Chains A and B, each alone.
Chain A
């Protein structure tokens, strides 16, 4: 079956611009996660959805970052007033929802802020 998909695969933007990153989870997965991976580091948690609601957004670095999942499937990560430090690979994962469940990752969106 289809895995987690993310679009776009690459995004180049200018400092101060707004960007949206999209994640399509595996069908039937109730949980959806966003992580950010900087060069040479492990992924860092941003936000977790159970259904339509954000169950844990403690990893969002500041109020420029926001994510939605209005129908409990597709999710969009939104970044306002981008900064060069936002450059990273943004990873999305989905699972059946328990902490012991495997999180399946998408290929990521590589964001470059110039």
Chain B
């Protein structure tokens, strides 16, 4: 069985400040890891994914994440927050023997002007 834990259900940042969203995973086999964003009243949109290639993954809208096997982490960062980054962010995991996504509880990001 696989699972992810997102630390912090709410994160508030100032516009222009660093955004850091934490995700730790649990998996008995090599994982595939995903970050999705959900804007109000919209569906989930993929930000980026790790599928066992480069450990530093770059995604859309200036986001990136680093896979650290020793720490079982896949934290999401963006150097400079924009007002449009206000949304809910979900970390999720699959693996070669489990096609379904197991999601974390989500982190809501608010951006202060």
* A binding-site residues for B, Cβ under 8 Å: 4, 31, 33, 35, 40-45, 48, 55-56, 59, 91, 93, 97-100, 102-108
Distance A48 CA – B103 CA, assembled complex (angstroms): 15
Give the distance to chain A from B70, nearest Cβ to Cβ, in Å: 22
Q: How many Å lie between the Cα of A71 and that of B1 in the bound state?
A: 31
Q: Is the CB of B98 within 8 A of A99?
A: yes
In the docked arrangement, what's the CA distance between A106 and B42, Å? Answer: 9
* Distance, CA A104 to CA B96, complexed state (A): 19
Complex contact A41–B101 (CB within 8 A) = no
Beta-carbon contact of B44 and A91 below 8 Å: yes
User: What distance in Å separates the Cβ of A76 from its nearest Cβ neighbour in chain B?
Assistant: 19
CB 8 Å contact bits of B90-113 with A (1 = contact, 0 = none): 101011111111111110000000
Q: State the interface size on chain B (CB cutoff 8 A).
A: 26
Kindly list chain A residues whose C-beta atoms are within 8 Å of the C-beta of B92: 42
Q: List 5 A-B contacts (CB under 8 A).
A: A35-B101, A42-B103, A99-B98, A100-B32, A100-B94
User: B106, A41: Cβ atoms under 8 Å?
Assistant: yes
| B56 → A minimal CB distance (Å) | 17
Q: Does B51 contact A (CB under 8 A)?
A: yes
**Residues of chain B in range 35-62 having any CB-CB distance to chain A below 8 Å:** 36, 42-46, 49, 51-52
Query: Known interface pairs A43-B101, A43-B103, A45-B101. Does A107 touch B43 (Cβ–Cβ under 8 Å)?
Result: yes
Give the nearest-CB partner of A34 in chain B.
B100
Is there contact, CB below 8 Å, between B105 and A42?
Answer: yes
Kindly list 4 other residue pairs between chains A and B, CB separation below 8 angstroms, not including A99-B95, A100-B51.
Answer: A48-B100, A100-B32, A102-B46, A104-B46
Question: For B43, what are the chain A residues with a Cβ–Cβ distance below 8 Å?
Answer: 4, 91, 105-108
CB <8 Å contact, B51 and A42: no
Closest 9 CB pairs of A and B: A42-B103, A100-B51, A105-B44, A45-B100, A105-B43, A99-B94, A107-B43, A99-B99, A100-B32
How far is A102 from B103 in the complex, measured between Cα atoms in Å?
A: 14
